[in-house]
């Protein structure tokens, strides 16, 4: 007889059908308190789970070494190891009822705080429920049952309506343990990536001059001249060349990269009738699409056209080294200079214009060999960072695929 209520992917030693239940049937609600950040103190015997921490923590499985915020001591109903706390409010519907698992909090006084629902499980493995709460089917149900427009909220009654298919307790444990191992790999890979970014940022701060200085604190041997200081208009001029609708449309992303629109998102819509108004860009053109201090300036490695909303800059003389230029626009000295001319500009949401940029002082070396050495070093870091980002992304995709296939 064909089994119908079984997952598509399963450990080979298990073969029984799953049993349909609901979150209400397998949990009991534990008291939560409206404890905001105002209740936090530097030291006490009591910790709490705030919904903001559920949304922002890298790892939401709490064990003995994982710190939670301290609050003023008082008479509270305490949480226990194995309890799950979910955030009952979120501006992102994908994070409505996002969970945190208190896997091991022995001998700790932990309470459930503001905008949380605390669950105590009844004969169900806590890791199994925790990872079920990361599946698309759970998230879609939370979105369907949540209330609100800008901020989505859910209560225990509605959360309890969500159905869950349960295997044997032994199989639940094995599934939970499997996903916990994947999460530990993700956490380790994330830390490696963040460490690489910190190392690169450290080099950026030293290999470019500090704000108000004209000589970098870290330098390749053979270079000793002071760096130049010139206004933006002395190095770049405003460039606007339209009526090139035969060229591919491009987009600028916040990581300072320029992509073919169809490559970035094939479903991304734009008015093809207006392509004649788009501006031409080519290799070594600079595009300003500022929405934040970091990531607003991009140097192009492609030929194509961009929205007329962008400001396009072209070198007056020989272009600088590509990777030197890209990293100059994220250096501390550039960001600090940028802050002075952008004060008040983005209040109304507009980007920096050429007139804004033209008075900006740029600190740079005009020695192309020094530029190339700096660019090559920083590009090595960028390549390593990109490699680790792809590895992390692949692990996350693998986890998502397992979630889709190991839960019903």
Q: What is the pLDDT of residue 347?
A: 43
- CA-nearest of 76, 71, 27, 65 to 50 is 71
Q: Is residue 347 part of a domain?
A: yes
d(CA 86, CA 265): 33
| The pLDDT of residue 268 | 65
Question: Of the ranges 13-27, 109-123, 256-270, which one carries the lowest mean pLDDT score?
Answer: 256-270
Lowest mean pLDDT among 161-170, 267-276, 309-318: 267-276
> So what's the pLDDT on residue 343?
55
| Residue 188 maps to a domain | no
Question: pLDDT-derived band of residue 293, with 50, 70 and 90 as boundaries?
Answer: very low
Looking at the predicted structure, is the pLDDT value of residue 291 above 70? no
The reply to whether 5 falls in a domain is no
pLDDT of residue 348: 47
> How confident is the model at residue 371, as a pLDDT?
97
Q: Which of 142, 166, 190 corresponds to the end of one domain?
A: 166
Confidence of residue 282 (pLDDT cuts 50, 70, 90): very high
Residue 269: pLDDT band with limits 50, 70, 90: low
Mean pLDDT of the chain: 91
Nearest CA to 113 among 131, 100, 127? 100
Among residues 113, 58, 60, the alpha carbon closest in space to that of 88 is found at 113
Q: Assign 336 a pLDDT band (cuts: 50, 70, 90).
A: confident
CA 256 to centroid of chain Cα atoms? 15
| Each residue's pLDDT tens digit, 338-382 | 777 765 554 444 567 788 889 888 999 999 999 999 999 999 999
**pLDDT greater than 80 at residue 87:** yes
Report whether pLDDT(126) > 90. Answer: yes
Confidence bin at 67 (pLDDT 50/70/90): very high
> How many residues can be counted in the chain?
408
Residues near 267 by beta carbon (within 8 Å), at least 6 away in sequence: none
Give the domain CATH number at 111.
Answer: 3.90.220.20
Considering the domain architecture, whether residues 240 and 355 belong to the same structural domain is answered as: yes
Lowest mean pLDDT among 4-18, 161-175, 206-220, 334-348: 334-348
Q: Write out the H or E segment, with its range, that includes residue 90.
A: strand 89-90
Domain assignment of residue 327, given as a range: 228-364
The b/e string for 21-53 (b: 16+ C-beta within 10 A; e otherwise) is: eebbebbebbebbebeeebbeeebebbbbbbbb
Query: 212 Cβ partners below 8 Å, 6+ apart?
Result: none
| pLDDT over threshold 90, residue 49 | yes
The pair of structure tokens assigned to 387 is: 């490699």
> CB burial class (10 A; 0-12, 13-18, 19+) of residue 185?
middle
**Same domain membership, residue 48 and residue 139:** yes
**Which among 166, 187, 215 is the end of a domain?**
166
- Are 248 and 145 in the same domain? no
- For residues 26 and 152, membership in a common domain is answered with yes
Same structural domain, 64 and 149: yes
CA dist 386 and 202 (Å) reads 18
Cβ-based burial of 162 (10 A; exposed 0-12, middle 13-18, buried ≥19): buried
Q: How many domains does the chain have?
A: 2
Taking residues 309-334, what's their average pLDDT? 91
Per-residue pLDDT tens over the stretch 144-201: 999 887 889 999 999 999 999 999 999 999 999 999 999 999 999 999 999 999 999 9
Decide if pLDDT at 266 tops 80: no
* Predicted local distance difference test score (pLDDT) of residue 20: 96
Comparing 49-63, 103-117, 160-174, 293-307, the range with the smallest average pLDDT is 293-307
Q: Are residues 27 and 158 both part of a single domain?
A: yes
């Amino acid at each position: 007889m064909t089994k119908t209520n079984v997952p598509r992917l399963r450990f080979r030693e298990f073969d029984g059908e799953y049993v349909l239940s609901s979150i209400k049937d397998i949990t009991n609600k534990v008291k939560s308190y409206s404890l905001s950040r105002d209740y936090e103190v530097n030291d006490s015997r009591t910790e709490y789970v705030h919904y903001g921490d559920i949304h922002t923590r890298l790892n939401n499985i709490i064990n003995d070494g994982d710190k939670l915020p301290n609050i003023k001591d008082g008479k509270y109903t305490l949480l226990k190891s194995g309890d799950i706390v979910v955030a009952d409010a979120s501006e992102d519907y994908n994070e409505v009822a996002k969970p945190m698992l208190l896997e091991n909090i022995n001998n700790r006084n932990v309470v459930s705080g503001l905008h949380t629902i605390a669950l105590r499980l009844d004969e169900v493995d806590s890791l199994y429920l925790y990872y079920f709460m990361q599946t698309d089917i759970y998230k879609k149900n939370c979105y369907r049952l949540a209330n609100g427009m800008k901020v989505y909220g859910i209560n225990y009654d509605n959360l309890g309506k969500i159905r869950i298919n349960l295997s044997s307790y032994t199989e639940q444990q094995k599934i939970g343990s499997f996903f916990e191992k994947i999460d530990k790999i993700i956490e380790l890979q994330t830390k490696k990536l963040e460490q690489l970014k910190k190392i690169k940022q450290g080099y950026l701060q030293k290999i470019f001059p500090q704000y108000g200085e004209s000589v970098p604190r870290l330098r390749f041997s053979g270079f000793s001249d002071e760096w130049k200081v010139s206004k933006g208009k002395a190095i770049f001029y405003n460039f606007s060349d339209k009526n090139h609708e035969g060229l591919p449309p491009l987009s600028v992303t916040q990581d300072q990269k320029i992509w073919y629109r169809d490559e970035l998102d094939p479903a991304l819509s734009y008015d093809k009738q207006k392509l004649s108004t788009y501006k031409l860009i080519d290799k070594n053109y600079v595009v300003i699409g500022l929405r934040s201090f970091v990531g607003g300036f991009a140097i192009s490695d492609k030929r194509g056209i961009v929205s007329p909303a962008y400001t396009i800059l072209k070198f007056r003389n020989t272009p600088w080294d590509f990777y030197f230029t890209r990293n100059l626009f994220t250096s501390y000295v550039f960001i600090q200079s940028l802050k002075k001319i952008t004060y008040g500009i983005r209040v109304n949401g507009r980007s920096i214009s050429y007139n804004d940029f033209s008075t900006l002082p740029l600190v740079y070396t005009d020695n192309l060999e020094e530029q190339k050495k700096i660019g090559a070093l920083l590009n090595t870091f960028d390549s390593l960072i990109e490699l680790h980002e792809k590895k992390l992304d692949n692990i996350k995709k693998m986890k998502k695929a397992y979630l889709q296939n190991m839960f019903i």
